[in-house]
C-alpha cells in the first residue's frame, strides 16, 4: 500500500487532545486549518496534518492523491453507546407511541425491551451477526469509524454470549449489558442477577471490554446495580451505567464511588446531580436522539459542560428508544437542543467518546500516530456536520487509511 495524501481540503478540524477527557473550555479548543492536507502512512496511521503551504515534499511515485477541493475533514466519529445486537423491530410500538402510549407503560406491559428480547432469542448466531454487521455499515456510512455495542437483548446465557461475539466480529467494542431488564423466566431482579453473575459473567468477561446496567425504576435499583457492577469489576471489566433516564435513582454517586467510565442518559439529572458528576472523572454521556425519539426532556448538556463535567455524545442506537445511527444528527441536536457549540459537540463525539472506550491514545484526533480514520464532509466549513440537519454531508469515510465511498458502505 502506498501513502495517501488528501490535499486541498477547505478545512481540517480536530481537537488537539489532552491526556484525560476534555471538560469546560477545553472542549471548545478545536483547531481549524484552512486549506489543509492529511497525509497517511501505508500502515493506516496519520503521518502529518497541516496547511497546504507547509506540505512537505512527498515525491510522486509512492503517493496516492485524493482531491479534497470543496471538502472539509474531521476525525472519524466515535459512537460510544449503541445497542445493535437485536432481532425484529419496534415499528408497531413506535406507532402506538405516536398515538399516545408511553415508553414506560409499554415496558411495564411486557412490550418494549422484553419484546426485543423475544425477537433476539429467535435468531441464530449467524443471523444475529448479519444484523449487527448491517447496523455497523450504516454507522460507517454516517461517519462512525469506531463504535461500542452492547448486548442486553438476550438475557439468557447463549444469546448474551452470541451478541458479544457478533459485536466483536463486526468490529465493535463490546459491552455486556447483562442487567438491562429482568427476563420473564426469572421471578425478580435478584434471582436473575444470581443466574447472570454465576452463569454468564465468567464467559462474558472474556468477550467484553465493559459492563453496563440499567439503573432505573422498573429495571434494577442501586443495590442491585452495585452488586452487578462490583462482580463485573472483579472480573476485569470497565464499568458503565444507564442512569437518570426517567428518574434520579442514585446512578451518579454510585458511578463516582465505583470509578465507572461513564454514566449515560442523564435526562432526569437535576441540580444536585450535576456537580457530583462534574467533580469526578466519570464521563457524562448524553443521548439527545433518545430524548427526541421518546419525546422526553433533553439532558442538561449545557449545564454539565458549564459545571466542568467531561461530556460525551452518542446515538444510543437501538430499536426502541433511538432508532438512529447518525452522529451528525446527534451533533445537530446537541447544538439546537443542548446548546453545545459545534466545537463542543465534535470534541464530545471524538476525543471524549474515545476516552469512554479507553482508546483515546489512538482514535478521535487527526494527529501523527493516530489511526487514519477521517470523515470528508461535502461542505466548505466543517461545522456543516451539525448545521445541515440530516443533510447527508458525509461524502467519504476513511477507516485505517482506506477510503469507503459513502454509498458503498450501506
Ligand atoms: O438506552 N434504557 C434502556 N435501554 C435502551 C433502550 C432499550 C430499548 O428500548 O430497547 C436505552 O434507551
Ligand atoms: Fe442505551
> Which atom of ligand 1 is nearest to 316's Cα?
1
Residue 409 has a pLDDT of 54
Residue 350 has a pLDDT of 98
> Where does 251-393 show beta strands of DSSP type E?
262-265, 283-286, 311-313, 374-377
Task: Write the CB contacts of 102 (distance below 8 Å, at least 6 apart in sequence).
Answer: none
Q: Is 112 in the pocket of ligand 1 (CB under 6 A)?
A: yes
Q: Is 113 in the pocket of ligand 1 (CB under 6 A)?
A: yes
pLDDT digits (tens, 9 = 90+) for 132-179: 999 999 999 999 999 999 999 999 999 999 999 999 999 999 999 999
Ligand 2 is an ion; residues with CB less than 5 A from it: 316
C-beta atoms surrounding 89 within 10 Å: 14
C-beta atoms surrounding 25 within 10 Å: 11
DSSP sequence for 230-273: HHHHHTT-EEEEEESSSS--SHHHHHHHHT-SEEEE-TT--TTH
Q: Which phi and psi (to 5°) does residue 308 adopt?
A: 100, 10
Ranges of the chain whose pLDDT falls below 50? none
Q: Which of 135, 214, 216, 262 to mutate to test the pocket of ligand 1 (most atoms within 8 A of CB)?
A: 214
CA of 92 to the centre of ligand 2 (A): 20
Three-class DSSP category at 35: strand
Give, in degrees to the nearest 5, the angle at Cα 129 between 178 and 175.
Answer: 30
CA of 85 to the centre of ligand 2 (A): 12
Q: Is 173 in the pocket of ligand 1 (CB under 6 A)?
A: no
- Here the cell at position 320 is 426502541
Handedness of CA 338, 340, 345, 348 (dihedral sign): negative
Residue 5 has a pLDDT of 97
- Are 334 and 369 spatial neighbours (Cβ–Cβ below 8 Å)? no
**pTM of the predicted model over 0.95:** yes
Q: Is 178 in the pocket of ligand 1 (CB under 6 A)?
A: no
Q: Is 242 in the pocket of ligand 1 (CB under 6 A)?
A: yes
Q: Is 214 in the pocket of ligand 1 (CB under 6 A)?
A: yes
pLDDT digits (tens, 9 = 90+) for 300-320: 999 999 999 999 999 999 999
CA of 323 to the centre of ligand 2 (A): 11
Q: Is 116 in the pocket of ligand 1 (CB under 6 A)?
A: yes
Q: Is 245 in the pocket of ligand 1 (CB under 6 A)?
A: yes
> Which atom of ligand 1 is nearest to 107's Cα?
9
Residue 408 has a pLDDT of 53
Give the Cα separation of 330 and 349 in Å (integer).
9
* Of 272, 398, 291, the residue nearest 334 (C-alpha): 291
State the angle between helix axes of 251-258 and 222-234 in degrees (0 to 180), rounded to the nearest 10. 20
Three-class DSSP category at 392: coil
Q: Which of 108, 242, 313 to mutate to test the pocket of ligand 1 (most atoms within 8 A of CB)?
A: 242
Three-class DSSP category at 391: coil
- Are 178 and 200 spatial neighbours (Cβ–Cβ below 8 Å)? yes
Give the Cα separation of 339 and 27 in Å (integer).
13
Q: Is 320 in the pocket of ligand 1 (CB under 6 A)?
A: yes
Task: Write the CB contacts of 326 (distance below 8 Å, at least 6 apart in sequence).
Answer: 142, 289, 315, 390
Q: Which of 318, 319, 322, 330 to mutate to test the pocket of ligand 1 (most atoms within 8 A of CB)?
A: 318
Strands 238-243 and 46-51: unpaired
Whose atoms come closest to the Cα of 320: which ligand? Answer: 1
Amino acid at each position: 500500500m502506498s501513502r495517501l495524501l488528501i490535499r486541498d481540503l477547505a478545512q481540517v478540524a480536530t481537537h488537539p487532545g489532552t491526556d484525560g477527557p476534555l471538560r469546560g473550555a477545553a472542549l471548545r479548543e478545536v483547531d481549524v486549518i484552512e486549506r489543509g492536507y492529511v497525509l497517511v502512512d501505508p500502515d493506516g496511521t496519520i503521518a502529518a496534518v497541516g496547511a497546504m503551504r507547509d506540505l512537505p515534499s512527498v515525491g510522486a511515485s509512492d503517493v496516492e492523491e485524493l482531491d479534497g477541493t470543496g471538502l472539509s475533514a474531521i476525525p472519524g466519529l466515535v459512537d460510544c453507546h449503541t445497542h445493535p445486537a437485536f432481532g425484529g423491530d419496534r415499528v408497531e410500538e413506535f406507532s402506538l407511541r405516536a398515538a399516545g402510549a408511553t415508553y414506560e407503560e409499554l415496558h411495564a406491559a411486557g412490550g418494549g425491551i422484553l419484546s426485543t428480547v423475544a425477537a433476539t432469542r429467535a435468531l441464530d448466531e449467524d443471523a444475529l451477526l448479519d444484523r449487527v454487521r448491517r447496523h455497523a455499515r450504516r454507522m460507517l456510512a454516517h461517519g462512525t469509524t469506531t463504535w461500542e455495542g452492547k448486548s442486553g437483548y438476550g438475557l439468557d446465557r447463549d444469546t448474551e454470549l452470541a451478541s458479544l461475539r457478533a459485536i466483536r466480529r463486526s468490529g465493535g467494542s463490546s459491552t455486556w449489558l447483562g442487567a438491562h431488564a429482568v427476563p420473564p423466566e426469572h421471578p425478580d431482579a435478584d434471582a436473575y442477577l444470581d443466574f447472570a453473575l454465576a452463569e454468564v459473567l465468567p464467559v462474558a468477561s472474556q468477550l467484553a471490554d465493559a459492563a453496563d446496567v440499567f439503573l432505573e425504576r422498573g429495571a434494577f435499583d442501586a443495590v442491585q446495580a452495585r452488586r452487578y457492577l462490583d462482580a463485573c469489576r472483579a472480573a476485569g471489566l470497565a464499568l458503565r451505567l444507564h442512569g437518570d433516564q426517567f428518574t434520579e435513582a442514585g446512578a451518579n454517586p454510585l458511578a463516582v464511588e465505583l470509578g465507572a467510565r461513564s454514566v449515560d442518559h442523564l435526562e432526569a439529572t437535576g441540580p444536585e446531580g450535576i456537580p457530583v458528576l462534574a467533580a469526578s472523572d466519570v464521563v457524562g454521556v448524553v443521548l439527545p436522539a433518545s430524548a427526541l425519539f421518546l419525546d422526553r426532556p433533553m439532558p442538561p448538556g449545557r449545564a454539565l459542560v458549564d459545571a466542568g463535567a467531561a461530556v460525551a455524545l452518542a446515538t444510543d442506537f437501538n430499536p426502541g428508544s433511538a432508532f438512529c445511527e447518525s452522529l451528525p444528527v446527534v451533533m445537530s441536536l446537541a447544538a439546537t437542543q443542548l446548546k453545545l457549540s459545534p466545537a463542543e459537540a465534535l470534541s464530545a463525539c471524538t476525543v471524549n467518546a474515545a476516552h469512554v472506550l479507553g482508546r483515546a491514545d489512538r482514535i478521535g484526533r487527526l494527529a501523527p500516530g493516530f489511526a487514519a480514520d477521517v470523515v470528508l464532509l461535502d461542505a466548505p466549513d466543517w461545522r456543516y456536520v451539525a448545521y445541515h440537519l440530516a443533510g447527508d454531508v458525509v461524502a467519504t469515510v476513511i477507516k485505517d487509511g482506506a477510503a469507503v465511498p459513502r454509498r458503498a458502505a450501506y
